[in-house]
Amino acid sequence: MSYTELAAKRLLINSLPKSGTHLLAKSVEILGYREHFEDREVQEVPLFFNYREVKKRIEHQTQFSQQQISIGALTPYYVDLAIVRHWLTLIAQKQYILGHIPWTPLLTPILQELNYQHIFIIRDPRAVIASSIPFVLDTGKMPARHFLEEDFKSMSPSQRLDFILVGGYGAKAGVEIRNFAEVFRSMLAWSQEQNCLFIRFEDLVGEQGGGKSEKQRETMEKICHHLDIPFSETIASQLGEIYNPSARTFRMGKIDGWKDSIEPADIEKLNTYCQPLCQEAGYEMY
């Protein structure tokens, strides 16, 4: 029996942007899952559950219900619960969709009803911030530019960091950005959701990204268990493929790489700001 046959349920891969979604996507592809738009049979579903793609699909919507789900990290975009449910019904079995969806009590019941699995990947908040800033300026292989690119171009490196940390109004994008602590905590809340498998970038990245092979294997075993797929030595032999520099959003993919991405004068500021977030998420300050 192939892993494609075993991968029966649909899957939501959820994260804060720049937290290792490419690692998790590659992990489940090893198990037989495929990204939902690979065959492009369904044009109605957003490519990703993120701010830009969802806004493109429903920006002309004029009627709204009281039950809405916030999609997007830095700035929320509210979508009617019924629309999100409809999109999820259109995704085929054995496929996954990537999303950036803050915690909400409304999502899990829908995922359970539609026989979805849900995996969330988190990363050291300092690394997320350090990776986010250059990504805003250059989204690489992604299908569109970042909605904050023009605002960031007019800022200095230190101003960009302050904008991410404190939040504020992006005049050129025309959106209000939440402060990073609020953003991070809204995602961290998924760790308390019983039906969501919550994993760490640092545990999945493996030796190629500065992690440990034992942790990578252990994390892959957890993923398999969550997806009802037996872990085997055949799967174990493919763990080296998880670290994938050709992935759409790959930049550095190193656990400690964030230190080289931030101006030396700003590292202390970043550490001070992120200290409580690291503590809440179980990361050590080093």
Count of Cβ atoms closer than 10 Å to residue 286 Cβ? 8
Q: How confident is the chain (286 residues) per 10-residue block, as mean pLDDT?
A: 60 95 95 86 85 84 79 92 95 95 98 97 95 80 78 88 93 92 98 97 91 96 96 95 67 69 86 97 88
Give the tokens for residue 213: 């092979």
- pTM of the complete model: 0.90
What does residue 12 show for φ and ψ, rounded to 5 degrees?
A: -105, 120
- The per-residue pLDDT for 1 is 44
Q: Is residue 197 a contact partner of residue 223, using CB atoms and an 8 Å limit? A: yes
Dihedral of alpha carbons 64, 67, 72, 76, sign:
positive
Number of alpha helices (DSSP H) and beta strands (DSSP E) in the chain: 13, 9
CATH architecture group of domain 3-281: 3-Layer(aba) Sandwich (3.40)
Contact residues for 207 (Cβ-Cβ < 8 A; gap 6+): 213, 216
